[in-house]
Amino acid sequence: MLGKGRKVSGRGETVTANYAFGPAEDDAIIKHRLLTRTTTTRGEPPLKKLQRKFTSFVLEVEKDEENYNDCAKLSKAFLQELSTFEIPLLKSKAVIDANLREKENFNELKDEINRQISLVQTDIEELKKQLEESKIERQHKEECEAIRKLISAQPPRSETQKSIREIEKEIAALEAENTAGSRLLELRKKQFALLLHV
């Protein structure tokens, strides 16, 4: 990568990031470096170095000469290079094992989070039901309050009963007066009929 986006001082604007390679090329380079155990683009890759030392050792062994010292030196150099090459592999294996454990922990954590999410969703559904019930209860209370206000606007029961008794007395008086009037009318009719007869 050549450079990443930086803030321009004083303006707060960002410069577009410029990359030497695209994502696909980046992945291929990383994969190649992991396979060849190279971390930089300079120098001889460790795998080629190991191969060169092994080839030198084999060529020396295949000679029909008394070259035990040279073979021992080349063997020692090869084994040393092999040991050097093995260390990053062991590191990589440790990293892989740690990543696998981390992945397992992540999956357990994910399962736990999903379980908690389902519990929370159940709680949300329950709370929605309670909210609907509360709305209905509140509506009933508001209706009851409106009825209570209507009732409180009416006069007290004692006054109403007193008014009813007074009206009943007036009705009774009017009925008595009506009965008396009817009798008087009947009497007048009889008197008038008698007068006409005479």
- Give yes or no for a contact between 65 and 93, defined as CB atoms under 8 angstroms apart: no
Look at residues 36, 18, 146, 145 and name the one whose alpha carbon lies nearest to residue 89: 36
Q: Judge residue 114's burial from the number of C-beta atoms within 10 Å of its C-beta, 0-12 exposed, 13-18 middle, 19 or more buried.
A: exposed
pTM of the model: 0.41
pLDDT tens-digit profile, the chain (198 residues): 444 444 444 454 444 555 667 777 877 877 776 666 555 556 667 777 778 878 887 877 777 677 778 778 888 888 888 888 788 788 888 999 999 999 999 999 999 999 999 999 999 999 999 999 999 999 999 999 999 998 888 888 888 888 899 999 999 999 988 998 888 888 888 888 888 887
Task: Give the domain ranges of the chain.
Answer: 24-147, 156-196
